[in-house]
Amino acid sequence: MKKSKTFLKAAVLSLAAAMMLAACGGKSEETSGSSAKKDALTEIKDRGKIVIGVKNDTRLFGLKNPKTGEVEGFDVDISKQLAKEILGDENKVEFKEVTSKTRVPLLQKGDIDAVVATMTITDERKKEVDFTDVYFQAGQSLLVKKGSKIKSVDDLKKGTKVLAVKGSTSAINIRGKAPETTVLEFENYAEAFTALKSKQGDALTTDDAILYGMADEDPSYELVGKPFTEEPYGIAVKKGNKELVDALNDALKKIKDSGKYDEIHDKWIKQ
């Protein structure tokens, strides 16, 4: 009887030791796996390129040149300089097309490292992504056919139609500023501008910097009234990537301090 109790006690102790060892081993593996996980900045450096989402339909900021197939604009040139500061070469950047609607989902899926695409910093968006410092200051305005009776946001009454882009802050803002007007939303700026030219609406609203590009494309259209919002653009990254945000902010500062930022700005934004 005594022998049986001793054997039982030894078995229990062995089982307890095995369980503790397994628990420790599991924790060790978990810790090891966690520490092995690279942050976004390290992954970019190891990969040797940064993948940036830019718009392909926004004149002056990101527009695909039909002759070369290359995307050109302010956001594109800024992105090249960011790659130069972070990776030592402005060519170490890959561009992927985004729209106001797709840029956050593509970022969260990991298809792109950052968004440089006329993206306004808002409290709502900060819940989904992290932003750098402001890299461009814009303001929402209206684009109309020259000779239009609409001269400012105050002229948007019941019966008027305003065109905007899905996923943009512009559509939200205009509903607040002119609640009686009808807002029609399109997939991108090219579609919205085509709709304005085909008289599907009385005005098109978005950031003034983008509207200047449309007026530059077709001088029969003009901006009216003063900007009625502030639209600070930021570079967006996946939430929690502090190292990447810090690196982008450092790069932005160097670009501005060197005078390169002003050079790019004056090249594209002439108003």
In this predicted structure, what is the pLDDT of residue 145? 98
Cβ atoms 215, 221 nearer than 8 A: yes
> What DSSP string runs through the chain?
-HHHHHHHHHHHHHHHHHHHHHHHHHHHHHHHHHHHPPPHHHHHHHHT-EEEEE-SEETTTEEE-TTT--EESHHHHHHHHHHHHHHS-TT-EEEEE--TTTHHHHHHHTS-SEE-SS-B--HHHHTTEEEEEEEEEE-EEEEEETT-S--SGGG--TT-EEEEETT-HHHHHHHHH-TTSEEEEESSHHHHHHHHHTTS-SEEEEEHHHHHHHHHH-TTEEEES---S-EEEEEEEETT-HHHHHHHHHHHHHHHHTTHHHHHHHHH---
Cβ atoms 241, 39 nearer than 8 A: yes
Full set of structural domains in the chain with CATH: 41-137+232-268 (3.40.190.10), 138-230 (3.40.190.10)
In this predicted structure, what is the pLDDT of residue 167? 83
Spatial neighbors of 271 by CB under 8 A, at least 6 apart, are 212
Q: Which residues of the chain have pLDDT under 70?
A: 1-37, 271
In this predicted structure, what is the pLDDT of residue 21? 44
Interatomic CA distance for residues 210 and 219, integer angstroms: 14
In this predicted structure, what is the pLDDT of residue 270? 73
Q: Hunting for tokens 């993948």 — which residue is that? A: 51
CA distances from 13 to 10, 19, 217 (A): 5, 10, 82
In this predicted structure, what is the pLDDT of residue 14? 53
